[in-house]
Amino acid sequence: KSQKRSRTSFQSSNLLSQMALVRSERRQLKLRLPLPEAAERRPSFPLPLPPSAGFSLSDYTRVSILGRGNGGVVYKVLHRQTGAVFALKLISSSSSANVRVQICREREILRRVAGDSPSIVRCRGVFDLPDGDLAVLMEYMDRGTLDSALTSSGTFSEDLLADVAFQVLNGLKYLHNHNIVHRDIKPANLLVNSNWEVKIADFGVGRIMARTLDPCNSYVGTCAYMSPERFDPDRYGGSYNGYAADI
């Protein structure tokens, strides 16, 4: 029995050593060949944006500022003719090229989902303005972000928390079924309306995958909501979004 245990222990130790060696070689290879993903090196859609048609800022009245960040300002706006309320994100022409690429990536993703899911924010269009600014017209969510809703409402009841979680997971399922990985799920990127409908927004660092199980290896997102594998040099897949949703 002693010899059998010794032989088993030796085999296990040998297997662990081989696994460690393979892992070490993989990491060394990544260090020698730090090639970014093709999809991250260049956008998969044309730049600059095509000329806008049928959109004019003069058709909208700015009611209030909803937020600032990422090179732009988000306004609550009112359509003068119909009275419809929207959220309008204006990106300055002086914003960095990276910000503009993120906006274009968001446009491509929102085009692909095209308002088919009740758990994804609806985008009315991304427009190239005469002065070089970009305008993103979206549906207005009157409770703001889930972050701000939590601050104003206090602790959620179990029923409300379950409903919010269901909607977020339903949205993630829809995105993954369309080969889209969000990569920055957090309360600040989830919008809420007065009916407590929760919708996923801000796809600036999202990615359209060729296939559902294709891996990612770029370091983007918010650290506090990243799953452990996001900090590993090995590639990760879309399943990590579930980790962020759990948090």
- Beta-carbon contacts of 237 under 8 Å, excluding residues fewer than 6 positions away, are 181, 213, 214, 215, 216
In three-state secondary structure terms, 121 is coil
Question: Which range has the worst mean pLDDT, 158-162, 170-174, 188-192, 216-220?
Answer: 216-220
At 223, is the pLDDT very low, low, confident or very high (cuts 50, 70, 90)?
A: low
pLDDT of 220 > 60? The answer is no
Contacts of 69 (CB under 8 A, 6+ apart): none
Is residue 163's pLDDT more than 70?
yes
Q: What is the pLDDT of residue 58?
A: 87
Q: Quick check: is 184 catalytic?
A: yes
Write down the pLDDT at residue 39: 37
Residue 194, CA distances (Å) to 82, 146, 160 in order: 21, 12, 13
- For residue range 169-192, list pLDDT tens digits in order: 998 888 888 878 877 788 888 999
Per-chain mean pLDDT for the chain:
70
Cα dihedral 166, 172, 221, 125 in deg (nearest 10): -110
Domains in the chain (CATH in brackets) are 57-139 (3.30.200.20), 144-246 (1.10.510.10)
* Model confidence pLDDT, tens digit, residues 62-120: 999 998 876 689 999 999 999 999 999 888 877 777 777 777 777 777 777 766 788 88
Count of other CB atoms within 10 angstroms of residue 3: 7
Residue 208 has pLDDT above 70, yes or no: no
Longest dimension (CA), the chain: 87
Distance CA 66, CA 101 (A): 23
Whether pLDDT at 160 is above 90? yes
Confidence (pTM): 0.62
Which member of 116, 142, 147, 184 is catalytic?
Answer: 184
- Is 89 annotated for ligand binding? yes
